Amino acid sequence: MRCSCGGATTVYESREVKPGAVSARMRTCRCTVCGSKFKTFEMVRGQDPDAPLASLIEQASRFSGAGQDGWVYVIQNVDTRRVKIGWSATPVRRFRNIETAIGSRVIPIKVTRGTVEDERALHRRFAKHRVLGEWFAEAVLQEIER
């Protein structure tokens, strides 16, 4: 499995979840490049593939930080000038982790209270400027600063 930045991931937690009639395997993964954490879900063998997934999707949103208030941030890599749009409960720690992962300094452009949904909305809005994963061309700064 690969992260949106292209890095390999490691699984550090795996467990079976049974929201309602659906049974699934939930894996908590961390990217070895950028340090992002995310959850993946897959149907457990023997389950009806047509079973309603609403309860599984609801459970996934609780584990993924969806709806959780935190910080939506925009940072820029000082070497490549690329811009990263992300979400974190602890943005300063996240900035340090990103700098360690990419081996370059980043500067915060904008940090505001928000949710994962707010971050995803920005990703959709600037999709035409996407370079790789959550990294965008410098051109997004003109629109963000408005």
User: CA 14 to CA 44: how far, in whole Å?
Assistant: 12
Burial class (CB in 10 A: 0-12, 13-18, 19+), 120: middle
Tens digits of per-residue pLDDT, 39-87?
665 655 444 444 444 454 444 445 445 556 788 999 999 999 999 999 9
% helix / strand / coil in the chain, to the nearest 5?
25, 35, 35
> How many other C-beta atoms can be found within 10 angstroms of the C-beta atom of residue 64?
15
So what's the pLDDT on residue 57?
45
Give SS3 for 39.
Answer: strand
Give the predicted TM-score (pTM) of the model: 0.56
Q: Is 24 exposed, middle or buried (0-12, 13-18, 19+ CB in 10 A)?
A: buried
